[in-house]
Amino acid sequence: MKVIAINGSPRKDGNTSQVLKIMADELEGQGIEVEIIQIGHLDIHGCIGCGYCYDSEENQCVFKKDPVNKIAKKMREADGFILGSPTYYAGIAGTMKSFLDRVFYTSSGYFRYKVATSVSVVRRAGGVDTAHQLNNYLNLAETVIPPSQYWTAAYGAAKGEVLEDKEGIQTIRKNARSMAWLLKVIDAGKKEIPFPAEDKRVWTNFVR
């Protein structure tokens, strides 16, 4: 099994990176391969809602000069994924937001019943808001989110300071262990129990 971890921080080896490495260590200890991909330092255009991805081959995004389509493919093929972001003004970092809008607009249908989770890193406040915003993508894509003992936010400003947040580190370790368990449960269960039947999506607009 394989998990893709997305690092939405522009800082190489910063606190978000260290948190994701801790989660990766937990998963790899359970025999699950993890690939961490940093995107926060890239120049990624936001979604323009053009609809190109509806009919394009493999539902690719119209913007092809950045690695979004390539990473989306990796996430589609993986058994699960992790979204990690620093907290900017009580929200997702800008490049990460652009990345997520495009990936989930093109690929949500491929993510159904995958195991996915999120983690935010914050200096003082707003981390829960960021984790909630990340989870909005996971919920709307119908992924299965593993539990933990508290919100998956870890605290630290200076590089490496996040490791001093003992409760935060414990929380994300537990979340990663839960993720490993869920990955194995779903992998075993789908051999005997099929996923729920899907209805054709009904769209209702409230302004006509």
Residue 106, SS3? helix
Determine the residue type at 1. Answer: M
In a domain, 207, yes or no: no
| pLDDT tens figures, 174-208 | 999 999 999 999 999 988 999 999 999 898 988 76
Q: How far apart are CA 74 and CA 57, in angstroms?
A: 16
Domain at 182, CATH number: 3.40.50.360
Residue 37, in any domain of the structure: yes
Give the total number of structural domains in the chain.
1
pLDDT at 191: 87
For 39-90, the pLDDT digits (tens) are 999 999 999 999 999 999 999 999 999 999 999 999 999 999 999 999 999 9
* 155, part of any domain: yes
**Assigned domain for 160 exists:** yes
pTM over 0.85: yes
Maximum CA extent, the chain = 53
Q: How far is CA 63 from CA 71, 101, 144, in A?
A: 13, 13, 29
Residue 7 lies in a domain: yes
Helices 94-111 + 127-140 axis angle, to 10 = 30
In a domain, 200, yes or no: no
- Residue 166 dihedral angles phi and psi, to the nearest 5°: -60, -40
Quote the pLDDT of residue 161. Answer: 94
Contact 134, 32 (CB under 8 A): no
**Structural domain includes residue 131:** yes
Domain membership of residue 125 as a residue range: 2-189
* From 91-95, 101-105, 186-190, the region with the lowest mean pLDDT: 186-190
